[in-house]
Amino acid sequence: MTIAVETVETTPFQDQKPGTSGLRKKTAAYRRPHYVETFVQAILDGVEDKPNATLVVGGDGRYLVREVVQTIIRMAAANGVGRLVVGAEGLLSTPAASGLIRKRRAAGGIVLSASHNPGGPDGDFGIKFNVSHGGPAPASVTEAIYARTKTMNAYRIVRTPDLDLGSLGEMRVGDTLVEIVDPVADYAELMAQFIDLDAIAALFARGFRMRFDAMSAITGPYAKAILEERLGAPEGTVVNGTPLPDFGGHHPDPNPVHNAELVSLMTGPDRLDFAAASDGDGDRNMIVAPGMFVTPSDSLAILAAHAHLAPGYADGVKGVARSMPTSRAADRVAEALGVEAYETPTGWKYFANLLDAGMISICGEESAGTGSFHVREKDGLWAVLLWLNILAKTGESADALVRAHWSRYGRDYYQRHDYEEVDAEAASALMEHLRARLPALPGSEAAGLRIEAADDFAYTDPVDGSVAESQGIRIYFANGGRAVFRLSGTGTAGATLRVYLERYEPADGRHDLDVADALAEVVAAARAVAEIEPRTGRAEPSVIT
């Protein structure tokens, strides 16, 4: 079918530089005429051999997702892309999109989400390009997209009516075959390959009580289909299970601050056995054991230690990776397993090469992301299922599992302090000042605590040799503590200074301290050395997780 392609003239944009995770901005920014189209055209221009290429398209259901899906369909058709695989109603969780890209051998995928940032007209929106391995595009690709947006003066689009995104099946738009797929089916099948679903079903049959909070975001349909329908968890196990355009006005970021209710369900005599939540686009996870929030850093270490109990990892974990600000708990497990531990910069994309090369099986970040080689994104529901698999196989309660882990490996007390929406110049000046002082820090004292070493983290990818510099400042203290400073790459207003704080208590040390008490000295030293209050005007962080 031939179809008229319109070439629309436009003026280039200078502000479409992708951050840690694609182009992410206030929703209103995408309302500017030709703004979405310019970025999409820049993505499409980079797709090779378009007539034979497949692209996966979907998003987390937030405001604008459906409209932008329709725009992508029209533009992909105008640009001669062979096939689009689109989640029904425009829905796909980020890990499900990654899985589909791999399964369909697609050239890539366009994922519409601003992850854990609030949605709606006053919230955030994002467009992310994933490449053929299923993971976020590497810097070389995002830089090329950005460069094209800065000179883009026309894009191609066809003027067709909206497609019905609700009916599964294939349809043609011009020469492009558009396939609308069930967003959950392939993902559920993938989980069945990696996780012992029968063991989890038996756990629920024994009366195991849990809650999964989908936070009115994308994981609702996935969690209901897998936990309730397939594994027999009682109806109501999944709460906030319908994706809403504004996530019901909530902040879909699963942490103990934004989901205090879930944490409170896990205390008291009537507490549940397990609670978990996922974020806007389904790649993050939060795990709560009876009486305790499990830090993402501990969760990664515990999953790595027990992954062999799940069929996908029965041959053993080959290697483990964590982002630099993540606590060193996973390194201790890798050492005990006799496998390599890698330390990467913040950002899931840095794990892709290690996963592709088979150098690691499991990886994770302090920012509530955990994943494995099953896809090339972090995967919230997968992490929950792996936890359940381990609980089912060990017969342990979740809190006993965590305590046993500490008694064997020691405990890394951990907190992240975020100073949100600080003045961008003040935040950069703070970082520059710390950088400039690095050579003088070792041997000096901050708030009475001796600094042993300090550096600016740089990473050389062991697979392709690419180098990422200035990825965060690390300061090591004499009491075994560490503070890391970096600026967020995902914020959309001002700058967010993140300070990551940790202190190690060995296996025979004290594991029952209050976290704030355990970290008090490191916190005071970090604040002093970075001159946080004098430079930002903030005596306390906006959020502590």
- Give the binding site for Zn ion (CB under 5 A): 115, 279, 281, 283-284
- How far is the CA of 72 from the CAs of 19, 184, 259, 464, in angstroms? 21, 21, 34, 32
Helix, strand, or coil (residue 306): helix
21 binds ligand G6P (CB under 6 A): yes
Q: How far is the CB of 21 from ligand G6P (least distance, A)?
A: 4
297 binds ligand G6P (CB under 6 A): no
542 binds ligand G6P (CB under 6 A): no
* 115 counts as catalytic: yes
70-96 burial, b for 16+ CB within 10 Å, e for fewer? bebbbbbbbbbbbbbbbbbbbbbbbbb
Instruction: Please check whether residue 363 is in contact with residue 320, taking contact to mean a CB–CB distance below 8 angstroms.
Output: yes
Q: Are strands 54-59 and 108-112 parallel, antiparallel or unpaired?
A: parallel
347 binds ligand G6P (CB under 6 A): yes
CA separation for the pair 245, 118 (Å, rounded): 10
Q: How far is the CB of 20 from ligand G6P (least distance, A)?
A: 4
Q: Which of 21, 93, 98, 115 is catalytic?
A: 115
Which among Zn ion, ligand G6P, none contacts residue 489 (Cβ within 5 to 8 A by kind)? ligand G6P
488 binds ligand G6P (CB under 6 A): yes
Which among ligand G6P, Zn ion, none contacts residue 488 (Cβ within 5 to 8 A by kind)? ligand G6P
Q: How far is the CB of 474 from ligand G6P (least distance, A)?
A: 15
Stretch that binds ligand G6P, among 175-183, 218-226, 346-354, 526-534 (CB under 6 A): 346-354
Stretch that binds ligand G6P, among 54-62, 77-85, 204-212, 365-373 (CB under 6 A): 365-373
Q: Which lies closer to ligand G6P via its Cβ, residue 409 or residue 419?
A: 419
Which among Zn ion, ligand G6P, none contacts residue 142 (Cβ within 5 to 8 A by kind)? none
Helix residue spans in 410-450 (DSSP H): 424-437
Q: How far is the CB of 383 from ligand G6P (least distance, A)?
A: 14
Q: Which of 41, 93, 115, 536 binds ligand G6P (CB under 6 A)?
A: 115
Furthest-apart CA pair in the chain: how many Å?
A: 75
Question: What residues contact residue 285 under an 8 Å CB cut-off, 6+ apart?
Answer: 254, 276, 277, 278, 279, 296, 299, 368, 369, 370, 379, 380, 381, 383, 384
Q: Which lies closer to Zn ion via its Cβ, residue 148 or residue 284?
A: 284
Which among Zn ion, ligand G6P, none contacts residue 281 (Cβ within 5 to 8 A by kind)? Zn ion
Within residues 391-450, the interface with ligand G6P by CB under 6 A covers none
Query: Could you identify the residue written with the tokens 């392609």?
Result: 5
DSSP state of 137: P
Q: How far is the CB of 281 from Zn ion (least distance, A)?
A: 4
Question: What residues contact residue 180 under an 8 Å CB cut-off, 6+ apart?
Answer: 86, 87, 88, 163, 165, 166, 167, 168, 169, 170, 171
Stretch that binds ligand G6P, among 171-179, 361-369, 384-392, 527-535 (CB under 6 A): 361-369
Residue 12 β-bridge partners: none
CA separation for the pair 312, 179 (Å, rounded): 29
Which among ligand G6P, Zn ion, none contacts residue 279 (Cβ within 5 to 8 A by kind)? Zn ion
Helix, strand, or coil (residue 544): strand
* φ, ψ (nearest 5 deg) of residue 327: -65, 165
Q: Which of 498, 519, 526, 532 binds ligand G6P (CB under 6 A)?
A: 498
Q: Which lies closer to ligand G6P via its Cβ, residue 362 or residue 392?
A: 362
Q: Which residues are catalytic?
A: 115
Q: Which residues contact ligand G6P by CB under 6 A?
A: 20-21, 115, 323, 346-348, 365, 367, 369, 488-490, 498
